[in-house]
């Protein structure tokens, strides 16, 4: 439902596929159609013009065939019936003229233009001209009649262009109209195809719009086209991550409520008792217990918040900053020296001889280091020792070795579970420290392992980080 509302609010800013088709594809097609029509018209005009010009030359040859020589003079025997035969169509006007070698008209129409001066014998030519503001094509040919080889005449035949133009227009329409219809039918087919293609998306939209905000079940991908399936798959992955995120938050709330209930109840009990006490020594003891309980509750809240921060449902989503663990481990160890001294423990730190640089997020790495070292302090008896070291040999390895009670081999997998504590231990831990370590390590693609301490006494925890990406 929320996705549907969001889409409706932002629909004005978005172009649908159909609108994109209209704004991009349609102008392109019509532009292509115009170019095609112009090219077709040019080709039709060229080829049809050549055909009409050949017919016009043929008419000129027919006039040449009507030339006669009588008493040394050239005459033209061209009756009206012959002229009617030479005309292509009644809608066109036909002209002819025969000139002698001196340019004097022997027969024909006076309106024809003067022939070309460079006209050669038996080489016909067709030129465009105008007669009484009418466009005509004129075929010219210079010949020597068989009976008067010493004389030459020029025959001109002209015809208006009505038939020629009508023919070209019909040819253009016969080409352009089918092309236009083909384009329109193609657009209709594409429009219909897009509608059919978008049907799965509309079904997908309907599925999403009909859901409540708590319904994060996967979308059905039955009969989903190959092109839409990656979208459905991505949405299902997103819904799965959201489910994991919500489960993580629910676990956090449940764990926090469960773990804080006991210390808060104890604080309430001591505070109630303290209000009724009159003995100063007893009151001091109650205040001491209250102070210890507040420290425990504060530490637990800090660890719960750290756990919530790392439990994001996406273990690989960490900042890609470069962190030198030499300085970070040194700072954290310095913070915990006072706590180790109060418990009479020897806390030693050995840095790497080379820069121990990794890619990661500094705050979460600090939580990892802090919880490993603090866990060693909590579960090591007074008088013991803890060694924190870093090694750089392609991979960066953080090791924390203590002389504490140790962790049985069959319990080492379980200690990474939240709120799990090894039976029989006396430490005041909350069972969250190693869970935080595991979450941060997963987020940095690091591995965590637990071994026996030196001489089989205590515990050794190794955290191995992958090589740094340059």
CA distance 180 to 164: 24
CA distance 109 to 401: 124
Is 8 or 346 the better-scoring residue by pLDDT?
346
Residue 116 has pLDDT above 50, yes or no: yes
Residue 13 has pLDDT above 70, yes or no: no
Residue 141 neighbours by CB distance under 10 Å:
23
Residue 115 has pLDDT above 70, yes or no: yes
pTM for this prediction:
0.46
Domains contained in the chain, CATH given: 1-212 (no CATH), 229-309 (1.10.287.130), 317-465 (3.30.565.10)
pLDDT for the residue numbered 349: 92
Residue 5 has pLDDT above 70, yes or no: no
Question: What's the pLDDT tens digit per position in 83-96?
Answer: 666 666 667 788 88
Q: What is the mean pLDDT of residues 62-71?
A: 74
Q: What is the overall mean pLDDT for the chain?
A: 77
pLDDT for the residue numbered 346: 92
pLDDT for the residue numbered 120: 81
Residue 43 has pLDDT above 80, yes or no: yes
pLDDT for the residue numbered 253: 73
Question: What's the pLDDT tens digit per position in 163-217?
Answer: 888 888 888 888 888 888 888 888 888 777 777 777 777 777 777 777 777 777 7
pLDDT band at 314 (very low <50, low <70, confident <90, very high): very low
Residue 14 has pLDDT above 60, yes or no: no
HEC profile of the chain: CHHHHHHHHHHHHCCCHHHHHHHHHHHHHHHHHHHHHHHHHHHHHHHHHHHHHHHHHHHHHHHHHCEEEECCEEEECCCHHHHHHHCCCCCCCEEEEEECCCCCEEEECCCCCCCCCCCCECCCEEEEEEECCEEEEEEEEEECCCCCCCCCEEEEEEEECHHHHHHHHHHHHHHHHHHHHHHHHHHHHHHHHHHHHHHHHHHHHHHHHCCCCCCCCCCCCCCCCCCCHHHHHHHHHHHHHHHHHHHHHHHHHHHHHHHHHHHHHHHHHHHHHHCCCCCHHHHHHHHHHHHHHHHHHHHHHHHHHHHHHHCCCCCCCCCCEEEEHHHHHHHHHHHHHHHHHHCCCEEEEECCCCCCEEEECHHHHHHHHHHHHHHHHHCCCCCCEEEEEEEECCCEEEEEEECCCCCCHHHCCHHHCCCCCCCCCCCCCCCCHHHHHHHHHHHCCCEEEEEECHHHCCEEEEEEECCCCC
Residue 388 has pLDDT above 90, yes or no: yes
Q: What is the mean pLDDT of residues 362-388?
A: 88
Question: What's the pLDDT tens digit per position in 316-373?
Answer: 445 567 888 999 999 999 989 988 998 899 999 999 888 888 888 888 888 888 888 9
Residue 408 has pLDDT above 60, yes or no: yes
pLDDT for the residue numbered 328: 92
């Amino acid at each position: 439902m929320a996705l549907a509302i969001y889409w409706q609010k932002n629909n004005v800013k978005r172009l649908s596929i159909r609108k994109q088709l209209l704004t991009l594809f349609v102008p392109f097609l019509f532009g292509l159609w115009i170019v095609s029509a112009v090219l077709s018209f040019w080709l039709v005009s060229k080829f049809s013009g050549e055909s009409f010009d050949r017919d016009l030359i043929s008419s000129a040859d027919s006039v040449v065939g009507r030339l006669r020589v009588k008493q040394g003079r050239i005459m033209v025997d061209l009756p009206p019936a012959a002229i009617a035969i030479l005309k292509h169509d009644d809608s066109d006007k036909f002209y002819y003229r025969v000139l002698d070698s001196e340019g004097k008209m022997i027969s024909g129409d006076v309106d024809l233009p003067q022939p070309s001066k460079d006209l050669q014998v038996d080489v016909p030519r067709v030129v465009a001209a105008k007669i009484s503001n009418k466009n005509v094509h004129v075929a010219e040919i210079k010949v020597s009649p068989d009976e008067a080889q010493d004389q030459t005449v020029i025959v001109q035949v002209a015809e208006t262009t009505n038939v020629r133009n009508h023919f070209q227009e019909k040819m253009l329409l016969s080409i352009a109209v089918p092309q236009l219809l083909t384009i329109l039918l193609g657009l209709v087919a594409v429009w219909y195809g897009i509608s059919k293609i978008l049907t799965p998306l509309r079904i997908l939209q309907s599925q999403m719009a009909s859901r409540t905000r708590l319904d994060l079940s996967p979308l059905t991908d039955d009969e989903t086209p190959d092109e839409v399936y990656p979208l459905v798959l991505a949405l299902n992955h997103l819904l799965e991550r959201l489910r994991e995120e919500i489960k993580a938050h629910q676990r956090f709330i449940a764990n926090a409520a469960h773990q804080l209930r006991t210390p808060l109840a104890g604080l309430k009990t001591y505070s109630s008792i303290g209000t009724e006490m009159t003995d100063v020594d007893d009151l001091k003891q109650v205040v001491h217990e209250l102070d210890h309980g507040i420290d425990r509750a504060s530490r637990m809240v800090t660890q719960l918040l750290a756990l919530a921060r790392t439990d994001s449902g996406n273990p690989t989503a960490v900042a890609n900053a470069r962190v030198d663990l030499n300085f970070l481990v040194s700072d954290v160890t310095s913070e915990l020296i006072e706590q180790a001294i109060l418990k009479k423990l020897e806390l030693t730190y050995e840095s790497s001889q080379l820069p121990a640089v990794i890619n990661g997020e500094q705050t979460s790495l600090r939580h990892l280091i802090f919880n490993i070292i603090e866990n060693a302090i909590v579960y090591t008896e007074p008088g013991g020792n803890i060694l924190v070291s870093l090694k750089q040999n392609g991979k960066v390895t953080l090791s924390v070795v203590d002389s504490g009670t140790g962790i049985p081999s069959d319990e080492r997998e379980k200690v990474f579970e939240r709120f799990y504590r090894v039976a029989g231990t006396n430490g005041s831990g909350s069972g969250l420290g190693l869970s935080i370590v595991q979450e941060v390590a997963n987020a940095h693609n690091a591995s965590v392992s637990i071994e026996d301490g030196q001489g089989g006494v205590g515990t050794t925890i190794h955290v191995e980080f992958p090589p740094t990406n340059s």
